[in-house]
Amino acid sequence: MELFHDPKIDWLGKKWYFLGFSLIFSVAGLLSILFWHHLPLDVDFRGGTVVRVKFAAHPDADRIRAAIDKAGLRDARIQQPYGPAANNEVLITLSLSETSQSALDQGRVTIISALTQNYSGDAAPNQGKLDLDNVGAVALTSWLEQNDPEHLGNTPEAETRYQNQASAVLNYRDAQHSGIIDSMNDLRGVVDPAILNALEQNAWLSGFHFQGGEIVGAQVGKVLQHQAELATLYSLGGMLVYLWFRFELIYGVAAVVACFHDTIITVGAFSLANREISLTVIAAILTLIGYSMNDTIVVFDRIRENLRLSRREPLADLVNRSINQTLSRTVLTSGLTFLTVLSLFLFGGEVLRGFSFALVIGILIGTYSSIAVAAPMLVAYQDWRARRGRTASLPAAKKARV
Amino acid sequence: MKTNIKTRLIVIFAVLAVCVVGIFGIPQGVSGTALKQSLLNRIHLGLDLKGGMHLILQVKVDEAISAETDTDVAGLQSDLQRNGITGAVVSKPDANRADFIQIAGVPAAHNDDVRSLLESSYSSRFDIAPGVGNTWTLTMKPTVEGEAKQRALDQALEVIQTRTNTLGVSEPIIEPYQLGSYQILVELPGVDDLGRVKDVIQSTARLEAHEVISDQPWTDRQTALQALGGYVPPDAELLQSVPGAAAEGSPGEWYELKKIPIWGGRDIRDAQPGHNPNTNEPEVDFYLTSAAGDKFAAWTGANIGKYMAIVLDNRVQEVAVIKGQIRDQGNISGGGITEQRVKDLSMLLRTGALPASIDFLQETTVGPSLGADSIHQGVVASIVGMLTVMAFMLIYYRGAGINADLALFLNLVILLGFMGYSGATLTLPGIAGVILTIGMGVDSNVLIFERIREELRAGKSPSASVDQGFAHAWTTIVDTHVTTIVSAAILFIFGTGPVKGFAVTLTFGLLANLFTAVFVSRVIFDANLSRKLHGEPISI
């Protein structure tokens, strides 16, 4: 099976279409960054509080907001991640101004107690009881020891036994049911009847489960921002140096320009889609810079090889031929990498959503840019040199060293 | 040629075996659960997969400096008095400058005495300078200050390490945080009781006894300040008490206490949970060192009838009248204190007070359910990705596709083997790195195969085409792998934990790919070719 049987497309002839396409997306992205959604930063960089909560039933955003308002937190942002894996999860965000330095976790504590007291319909009579949806291993074990439903007294054997029973409950809840127990009845095969009885009478299920959270003070946010900037600069600089070393400078510059183009469009896409940029997203962007560079190198390698073989062919034709020769490979590898990253985007879960979004966009644009940005730039540079009266041959670059 | 293939095949199987051992260790059995267990033992899971807490703490080292200079102020005052220099007042005039002490009101006649006293006892740690109008200033030397701050950090580190040991956390990480000044990084895998952890870490657990200056307590700080004339004298402080400190059922009130404690901090030798002999309520019994005990006995003997306050973490726990000499024993009780709290508090007192208080700068919590979910989702995404790629390679490249799929599978095994041997941590972005390796790894195969197809189309023989394919593609493969590995290296240097995990798996995957896509694929091709007649076409 072969997708591209000897393609003969005039790529450079279409360069104005490509330029137009690139301009539209870059400008749209830049405009969004400047005027519309600006640059949505994740709590890593922005500072503030993020709390992840999973609900037993489909969460009612209004009820959540009402519950949290009652506790005095007016400016909480409630996001329900969309997509195929919605899973009744909610992200509650508090801004930095509501996150004080001296009591960093105050916001999280308030949110959880607000939900405990105000969210569930039957919250009121159950206040003060053990919440089985949110209890931890140590707390459950000591609750069991204190209540002693199997009347074992205060022996080490009792401690071990209750520890095991607590682990069984928590294993059932966390490893198998994402943190929510639908009803006490479900524990019937998991723990002994006496313990189940005690739980049914003296514990309750609040219907929500605190999955995790992140609280970042202003200081740490700034430091991480700075680290991300340094990493990006070093990456681009390193690429340029490496390419200069392997090829001529103009190849390096063309490749770096293509990478800038990719970065701007990807970051613009985040702004347009109002997705937040976190540290892992920066990692994804740096990776796709590397990937775009790869792609560009493949085309450049072929151009360099062809240059050595035929000196008389007009550069535009040679570049076209080089792209056509590598087209099969370029489309295939991008396609395959795209498939794997798409799988990550669809099935990889909420935590990696931003990361995989960056890669999905980045791989498409990275492939496009090698053909539509880097190659035409080479030809344009050579045309510019020719017009200045120099010899019209592109520096064939140093002999490839391995 | 045949023996060459055989040797190379042996090499491949040896590598495969070594990596399997790296992944599973020496497995206890071959059942599904046993293998899964040995896998989990070998591969370290990061916090975002296992669940736990990640904290960045700021040690407020200025407080430690402040405590030191407070002692210096008291010492200086008593030194001056002992040398007969009356009328001089030693103080720290600037509340924001913990390292700055001022002596004011020195009578002109004693100026030289003061200077010689300062130079003999204090010049090693302070820069001494005369000021206007019969004053002297002492500024702590920068080196001394730096050392004191570093000592505070080291001490805090040690105390927190001891305390987290009692929490029973396996493999905690407690170390100085490089990106900040006097900050500590704490990682506690598997912890799910946030409140208790923070209490244990953050509690300065400073227990002190202070002399009570005021006759009676005040209801709030404003009233107290008014009664004192608007400001607190430099040698005193205003502290609030917990309810029930003075007597059963008394509200939280404000007392004026002498700032310098009678004993405190390191003077506590031991603390144990116990029970009140009368009421059987839980209480903490603490014991002082003998030196502190002597001092305390002397003080209590000389101050019978006066009031004394026991202060824990700047809250007055108990106020009592001194009825007789107390040597070296005391207790903390009342206020509804629970068994758990008594146990924790005794442990905190035993491990020693934190030299300065701690602020939390960052806190990340991953519950065990989120960790389990993440692993599940990551594995599903990997499997879907891998199957899609494998299927495509089979359809598009037919026979050679099997080649690529085998190389891909081996790639993953070697990658996991690297992870197992190096003890590197697998994080959620790390799993994404594995998925990315699948995509990028097969890239090399596509590169080679496309080249082979091109050579075949140009009319070369199968073995020559395979030769040419591998030869031409090698340069490009190295180029692309090096650039991505350089990217990953930069991410490793500048990234935090999860991102580091991504960089590590990506690098390992690409290194493994250099081996599988080139060496292993070549061996399979050669083995295939050696079984065919000369010129017989290969399936690609």
**Would you list the DSSP string of B277-341?**
TTT--EEEEEEE-HHHHHHHHHHHHHTTTSEEEEEETTEEEEEEE--S---SEEEE--TT--HHH
Any A CB within 8 A of B428 CB? yes
pLDDT digits 0-9 by tens, A203-226: 888 888 988 888 888 888 888 889
Which positions in chain A touch B447 (Cβ < 8 Å)? 298, 329, 333
A361 — contact with chain B (CB < 8 Å)? Answer: no
In a domain, A195, yes or no: yes
CATH number at residue B134: 3.90.1070
In terms of CA atoms, which chain A residue is nearest residue B395?
A: A1
Cβ within 8 Å, pair B495-A227? yes
Confidence tier at A281 by pLDDT (50, 70, 90)? very high
Chain B contact for A213 (CB, 8 A cutoff): yes
CA distance A128 to chain B (A): 16
In chain B, residues with a C-beta closer than 8 Å to the C-beta of A54 are 369
Check residues A395 and B518 and name the one with the higher pLDDT: B518
Predicted local distance difference test score (pLDDT) of residue B8? 87
Look at residue B243 and tell me if it is in a domain. Answer: yes
In the predicted model, what is the mean pLDDT of residues A375-380?
85
Q: Is B368 helix (H, G, I), strand (E, B) or coil?
A: helix
For residue B27, the model assigns a pLDDT of 67
What values do phi and psi take at B90, rounded to 5? -100, 130
Residue A89 has pLDDT above 70, yes or no: yes
* Distances from the Cα of B455 to the Cα of A7, B398, B468, B469, B470, angstroms: 16, 17, 7, 7, 11
**What is the CATH classification number for the domain harbouring B225?**
3.30.1360.200
> Among the three residues B295, B321, B338, which one is the final residue of a domain in this structure?
B338
Q: Are B466 and B452 in contact (CB under 8 A)?
A: yes
**Residues of B with CB below 8 A from A402's CB?**
474-475, 478
Q: Where are the beta strands (DSSP E) in A121-232?
A: 130-131, 203-204, 208-216
How far apart are the C-alpha atoms of A54 and A62, rounded to whole Å? 16
Q: How far apart are the first and last CA of chain A?
A: 33
Contacts of A212 in chain B (CB under 8 A): 51, 364-367, 370
User: Are B377 and A347 an interchain contact pair (Cβ–Cβ within 8 Å)?
Assistant: yes
**B372 shares a domain with B267:** no
Say whether pLDDT at A101 is over 70. Answer: no
Residues B97 and B21 in one domain: no
Give the pLDDT confidence score for residue A203 in this predicted structure. 86
Asked if residue B85 is part of any domain, the answer here is yes
Do A269 and A147 have their domain in common? Answer: no
Judge: B48–A329 Cβ closer than 8 Å, yes or no. no
Tell which residue, A286, A296, A317, A298, has the closest CA to residue A370: A296
Show the tokens assigned to A323. 């792209």
Residue predicted with more confidence, A325 or B338: A325
A311 and A351 inside one domain: yes
| A355 has a pLDDT exceeding 90 | yes
Chain-chain contact of A220 with B56 (C-beta, under 8 angstroms): yes
- Within a domain: residue B226? yes
Which 97-126 residues of chain B touch chain A by CB within 8 A? none
Chain A CB contacts of B391 under 8 Å are none
CB atoms A1 and B396 under 8 Å: yes
Q: Is residue B361 part of a domain?
A: no
For an interface test with A, give the residue of B181, B487, B492, B504 to mutate (most A CBs within 10 A): B487
- Taking the Cβ of residue A348 and every Cβ of chain B, the question of whether any pair is shorter than 8 Å is answered with yes
- Asked whether residue A20 carries a pLDDT value surpassing 60, the answer given is yes
* Class of residue A189 by CB neighbours under 10 A (exposed 0-12, middle 13-18, buried 19+): exposed
Write the residue in A230, A242, A349 that is nearest to B373 by C-beta.
A349
List beta partners, residue B283: B274
Secondary structure of residue B494 in the 3-state scheme: helix
pTM of the predicted model as reported, rounded to 2 decimal places: 0.81
* A230–B contact, CB cutoff 8 A: yes
What pLDDT does residue B513 have? 93
Helix orientation angle between B368-422 and A315-347, rounded to the nearest 10 degrees: 130
Mean pLDDT of chain B: 84
Counting residues of chain A whose pLDDT is more than 70, the rounded percentage is 94
- How close, in Å, is residue A131 to chain B by CA atoms? 13
Higher pLDDT pick, B65 / A81: B65
Contact call for A280 and B429, based on CB within 8 A: yes
Give dist(CA A251, CA A240) in Å, integer. 9
Residues 3..62 of B with a Cβ closer than 8 Å to A: which?
48, 51, 56, 58
Q: pLDDT class for A401, splitting at 50, 70, 90?
A: very low
Based on the fold, state whether residues A89 and A60 are members of the same structural domain.
yes
Of A199, A215, A231, which one is at a domain's C-terminal end?
A215
All residues of chain A having their beta carbon less than 8 Å from the beta carbon of residue B196 are 138
What are the tens digits of pLDDT across the range A25-55?
Answer: 889 988 988 888 888 888 888 888 899 898 8
Q: Which chain B residues contact residue A321 at CB under 8 A?
A: none
Task: Give the model confidence (pLDDT) of B177-223 as tens digits.
Answer: 888 889 999 999 888 777 788 888 887 777 888 888 877 788 888 88
Q: Is the pLDDT of residue B127 over 80?
A: yes
Query: Residue A245 burial (CB < 10 Å; 0-12/13-18/19+)?
Result: exposed
The pLDDT of residue B262 is 81
Assess whether A305 and A350 both reside in one domain. Answer: yes
State which amino acid sits at residue A104. Answer: L
B361, B372, B475 ranked by CB distance to A174: nearest: B372
Confidence of residue A393 (pLDDT cuts 50, 70, 90): low
Asked if residue B175 belongs to a domain, the reply is no
Q: Same domain for A199 and A222?
A: no
Calculate mean pLDDT across residues B308-326: 81
**pLDDT per residue over B15-34, tens digit each?**
899 888 888 877 666 777 77
B463 touches A at CB < 8 Å: no
Residues B408 and B514 in one domain: yes
Sequence-distant (≥ 6) Cβ neighbours of residue B280 within 8 angstroms: none
The beta-carbon neighbor of B494 closest among A213, A231, A329 is A231
Inside any domain, residue B167: no
Across B364-373, average pLDDT: 88
Q: Is B380 on the interface with A (CB under 8 A)?
A: yes
* Closest to A287 in 3D by CA, of B487, B481, B442: B487
What does the pLDDT look like over B55-72, one tens digit per residue? 999 998 888 888 888 878
Q: Which residues of B touch A215 (CB under 8 A)?
A: 360, 362-364
pLDDT of residue A114: 86
- Same domain, residue pair B120 and B217: no
| B429: contact with A, CB 8 A cutoff | yes
What is residue A104's predicted lDDT score, i.e. its pLDDT? Answer: 77
Domain contains A302:
yes
**Confidence at A82, pLDDT banded by 50, 70, 90:** low
Examine the domain organization and report whether B495 and B391 are in the same domain: yes
Maximum alpha-carbon separation in chain B: 115
Q: What does the pLDDT read at residue B411?
A: 93
Task: List the CATH number of the domain containing B501.
Answer: 1.20.1640.10
pLDDT(B448) > 50: yes
Is residue B523 in some structural domain? Answer: yes
Residue A127 inside a domain? The answer is yes
Closest-approach residue (CA) in chain B for A344: B381
User: Residue A370: which CATH number?
Assistant: 1.20.1640.10
Does B149 score more than 50 pLDDT? yes
- Is pLDDT at B36 greater than 80 in this prediction? no
- The two three-digit tokens of residue B538, written as one number: 């290969």
Residue where a domain stops, chosen among A185, A215, A245: A215
Residues A319 and A366 grouped into a single domain: yes
Residues A305 and A168 reside in one and the same domain: no
Neighbours of A191 (CB within 10 A): 20
Least confident of A72-81, A157-166, A244-253: A244-253
Containing domain of residue B466, as a range?
2-51+367-530
Going by pLDDT thresholds of 50, 70 and 90, the confidence category of residue A284 is: very high
Contact B486 A102 (CB under 8 A): no
> Residue B115 above 50 pLDDT?
yes
Residues B375 and B496 in one domain: yes
Tell me, yes or no, whether A343 and A241 share the same domain. yes
Contact (Cβ atoms closer than 8 angstroms) between residue B478 and residue B452: no
Reported as a pLDDT band with limits 50, 70 and 90, residue A111 is confident
Whether the pLDDT of residue B315 is over 70: the answer is yes
* Predicted local distance difference test score (pLDDT) of residue A400: 47
Range A173-193 average pLDDT: 85
Residues of B in contact with A283 (CB under 8 A): 429, 491, 495, 499, 502-503
A-chain CB neighbours of B392 within 8 Å are 336, 339
CB proximity under 8 Å: A 107-146 to B: 109, 136-139, 142
Q: What was the pLDDT predicted at B443?
A: 85
A288 in the same domain as A261: yes
Chain B environment of A109 (Cβ under 8 Å):
195
From A215, A241, A269, give the residue that closes a domain: A215
For the ranges A3-17, A318-332, B318-332, the maximum mean pLDDT occurs at A318-332
Domain boundary among B115, B144, B173: B144
Residue span of the structural domain in which A70 resides: 48-215
Same domain, A64 and A210: yes
Contact B192 A294 (CB under 8 A): no
How many angstroms away from the CA of A93 is the closest CA of chain B? 14
**Count of the separate structural domains present in chain B:** 3
Q: For residues A19 and A80, state if they share a domain.
A: no
Interval B450-507: pLDDT, tens: 888 888 888 888 888 888 888 888 877 887 888 888 889 999 998 888 899 999 999 9
| A298 has a chain B CB within 8 A of its CB | yes
- And the tokens for B514? 């250099």
Does residue A3 fall inside a structural domain?
no
Whether B438 is covered by a domain: the verdict is: yes
Whether B239 and B129 share a structural domain: no
Q: Do A105 and B363 touch (CB under 8 A)?
A: yes
pLDDT at A402: 44
Report ipTM (2 d.p.). 0.85
pLDDT at A115 over 70: yes
* Structure token digits, residue A324: 């056509």
Instruction: Please indicate, yes or no, whether residues B216 and B320 belong to a single structural domain of this protein.
Output: yes
Whether residue A350 sits in one domain with residue A243 = yes
Six-digit token string for A253: 């510059």
Would you say residue A4 lies in a domain? no
* Bridge partner list, B185: B56, B175
Split into its structural domains, chain A has a count of 2
